[in-house]
Structure 1
Amino acid sequence: MQPRVAAFTDTYLPTVNGATYTVRTWRERWQARGGRMDVVYPDADYDPEPGEHPVASLDFPFYEGYRVAVPYVPRGVVTPDVVHAHSPFSVGVAGYRYARTHDAPFVVSYHTPTSEYVEYVAPDILTPPLERVSERWERWFLERADLVLAPSERTCEHVRDLGVATPTEALSNGVDVEFFAPTDAGEFRERHDLPDGPLVGYTGRHGYEKRLRDLVDAAADLDATVVFGGDGPARDDLEARAHEVGADVRFLGFLEREELPAFYSALDVFAFPSPVETEGLVALEANACGTPVVGADAGALVETIDDGETGYHFPVGDVAAFRDAIRRALAEVASLSETCLERREEVSVSRAIDQLEAAYARVLE
């Protein structure tokens, strides 16, 4: 019999990000195996399904798309065998208390190093002290766990560098390879009026921490059209920069999830300059659609991308090297794409759920 799991997250639908879809997909796959996984999350403009429990929340004024919730547990949440928190903030703290109330193992997934985002929500003068406070809070929270799961070995190392003694294991969030698969992108290109010829693109949050301006600058001397899907606080500045450098850059805005396989399939190369990824799930989604990735040689992308196999790396902030790596990937797109497709099952969410089930079994022992 599968353990009953109560999951707690500070970000959930309709917010679009990797953590949101990971929690939702894990819940669906866990329940497809006959288990129960309830989710507690900040309320928003979303119609919950049975087993999804919203709590009162307010918009977070400094970071678009995030909400601050009241740290309590609604009635009706499953009596847990395991409590699994996906964030260290208010809802995550409610999860910790819920685990202790029911004497249940407490598992934490470490999706995002919060200290790396401080500089984008606070004045420069406050950044260093707030980073230290953030790291101390993360360390306190993670040390309350019986097990920490991180989506890459690099992120596991970061957790240990914080001084956390809790056992920490790498567990990929996984990709739904049945959904993210090569598809005919002709209708997508026509609908978005994309030109013939090579396409290089990115989709996801347009946050300053992602260094997307480097991609716009790389596009200036690139014999390809650069396409951005998604939205976020940096979009206006990115559009202005594209006009300033005279780059062929198209901004498609928010893309429905159903459009993403066609988006990835339309691209020849997925470009990912972000140095702050804990896994870089969109890179794995692109690979699952047969699209190689050129990404920053930092964070989890160090291991997510296999140079010469599924894409190439470049040094963070080196626009010339970024452009050269994109050109190299475009020249080798056929062989890189073939390897990406050969490795689809290695990054599948089914494999991730197998590992999650084993992790739950260990903490229950």
Structure 2
Amino acid sequence: MKVALFVETYLPYINGVVTHVHSLKTGLEMLGHQVLVVTADPEVKRHTLKDGVLYCPCKKLKRIYGYGLAAPVSRVREKLIDNFAPDIVHVHQEFGIGLFGYQYAKRRKVPMVYTMHTMYDDYLYYVVPKHLIPAAKQVAGRYSRMFVKAAAQVTGPSKKVESYLRSHGIKKPVNVVPNPVELDTFNLEHADMEKVAALREQFGYAADDFVTVFVGRVGKEKNIDQLLDFWAASQLAKEPRIKLMVIGDGPEREELIGRAASLGLSPQVQFIGKVMHDQLLEYLVACDAYVTASLSDTNSISMLEGMAVGLPVFHIHDPLNKGQVVEGVNGFIYNSADELAEKLLAYRDLEDKQPLKESVVESVQHSGAKTLGENLEKIYVKALRS
């Protein structure tokens, strides 16, 4: 089977969608399929085909790191994809490249699979003035409907995607395909423990400090402000040995640093900025638990990467992502500031953490590239038969 994957950004840039698509390409190739990734790249001046990836020239988007806006029409691009002759078009994002994929599938009568990774209602503030967001949500819903209607099959990382589509009046079934984690990369055995020790020393963590971590875009949709408020309103603020490391960059970083200071949390909370993906393993291993208050994620890959090295996840209650974090198996669910503090302190004080850590790692062992490829392979077969 020949599969063309359309995504707005790709390696060397890193985000959840890039990781998903790279793992899918790897998994499908492991199963013997041929894969072409079609992506925008602001660093190329002309269409460039290399190692199964077609890099398309585009205009760089300064407000969204790593993204560029490619023209949705290109004869050169079309000819190069014709040469590949895909059996399946799989659209992962919906802008210049995704729109091209949608149009290509329609013109060539190739079955299209559409994966909704992002529920855009939570991200519109990046590009739309606040007073226009209600209208923009309606437009986003209609735009999503166009892709869903044209797709032979629709997928998403959790039931939250189906709920989002229902809220916009879209009733087509969604195949839930959980996100992957790069198990070979995020493996405790592969961590350089000297680097781990050096990182803890660099950030001033003592041997008995209990370090929690959040990894992701530092934006409003991640609810880091609520996490800080919960921290300040609970027993955690009175526990100087409990720390919070926020890894990532984004438009809210400076404001959140100020918020942490105003809440008196600066000695406990550090915003360390962006960490390259190939260095992230040691940062995660240097920590003791993963914590998040985000309700915008469908199936956070950063969270899965933390689980892969044994970090239990402390996740705010999110009924639409029920089952991703199972109490006492791979983490804990909290509903309030006091409950977060209670559960974090209980885990910190647990004398033997190893059984839970092993359970956390086991919970993601079937989330690798091959499993993702097998899951999508079944959906492609359904698309071809529809």
TM-score by length of 1: 0.90
1:143 aligned residue: 149
Instruction: Give structure 1 stretches of 5+ with no counterpart.
Output: none
Task: Name the aligned partner's letter for residue 195 of structure 2.
Answer: E
1:326 matched to 2:334? The reply is no
Q: Deviations over 1:138-161 (max 9, x none)?
A: 122211111011111232333344
The corresponding residue for 2:184 is 178
How far apart are the structure 1 equivalents of 2:323 and 2:363? 14
SS at match of 1:158: helix
Equivalent runs, 1:1-365 vs 2, <5 Å: 3-45=1-43, 49-73=50-74, 74=77, 75-77=79-81, 78-183=84-189, 184=191, 185-191=193-199, 193-194=202-203, 195=205, 196=207, 197-217=209-229, 218=231, 220-222=237-239, 223-247=241-265, 248-298=268-318, 301-315=321-335, 318-332=336-350, 333-365=353-385
**2:61 aligned partner, one-letter code:** F
1:6 is displaced (CA, Å) by: 1.0
Contact 1:271–1:326 (8 Å) recurs in 2: no
Q: List gaps (5 residues or longer) in structure 2.
A: none
In 1, Cα distance between equivalents of 2:7 and 2:238: 42
Cα distance in 2 for residues equivalent to 1:7 and 1:267:
35
Aligned to 1:174, the other structure's residue is in SS state coil
Determine if contact 1:201/1:228 at 8 Å carries over to the other structure: yes
* Residues 42 and 60, structure 2, Cα contact 8 Å, conserved in 1: no
CA, structure 1 residues 135+221, in 2 after alignment: closer, same or farther (shift >3 Å)?
Answer: farther
Structure 1 63/257 Cα, relative in aligned 2: closer, same or farther at 3 Å?
closer
- How far has the Cα of 1:276 moved from its partner? 0.5
Structure 1 pair 141–336 and aligned structure 2 pair: CA distance change class (3 A): same
SS at match of 1:337: helix
Q: CA deviation at 1:290?
A: 0.8
What is the one-letter code of the residue matched to 1:20? V
Take 2:366 and 2:349, find their aligned partners in 1: how far apart are those partners? 25
Equivalent residues of 1:146, 1:167 under 8 A apart: no
CA distance in 1, matches of 2:100, 2:319: 29
Kept in 1, the 8 Å contact 2:31–2:373? The answer is: no
Q: Aligned equivalents of 2:276 and 2:30: distance in 1?
A: 24
Q: Percent identity between the aligned chains? A: 26
Distance 1:235 1:48 in 2: 36
Give the alignment's TM-score, normalised by structure 2.
0.86
* Shift in alpha-carbon separation, 1:148–1:221, aligned structure 2, 3 A: farther
Q: Residue 327 of structure 1 aligns to a residue in which SS?
A: helix
Q: Name whichever of 337-346 and 94-103 sits farther off.
A: 337-346
Change (3 A) 1:234 1:324: farther
Query: How far apart are the structure 2 equivalents of 1:68 and 1:300?
Result: 31
Cα 1:106/1:120, change in 2 over 3 Å: same
User: 1:294 Cα deviation (Å)?
Assistant: 0.7
Q: Secondary structure of 2:14's match?
A: coil
RMSD, aligned α-carbons: 2.3
Q: Distance in 1 between matches of 2:349 and 2:325?
A: 17
CA distance in 2, matches of 1:66, 1:125: 25
Q: Which has the higher contact order (CA 8 A, sep 6+)?
A: 2
Moved more, 226-235 or 252-261: 252-261
Cα pair 1:295 1:301 within 8 Å, conserved: no
Deviation at 1:311, TM superposition (A): 0.9
Q: Against the structure 1 CA distance between its residues 334 and 221, is the aligned structure 2 distance closer, same or farther, given a 3 Å change threshold?
A: farther
Classify 1:301/1:285 alpha carbon distance in 2 versus 1 (closer, same or farther; 3 Å).
farther
Q: Give the CA deviation at 1:299.
A: 6.5
Amino acid at match of 1:364: L
Mapped contact 1:207–1:234 kept (Cα < 8 A): yes
* Whole-angstrom CA distance in 2 between matches of 1:329 and 1:231: 28
Q: Which amino acid is 2:198 matched to?
A: E
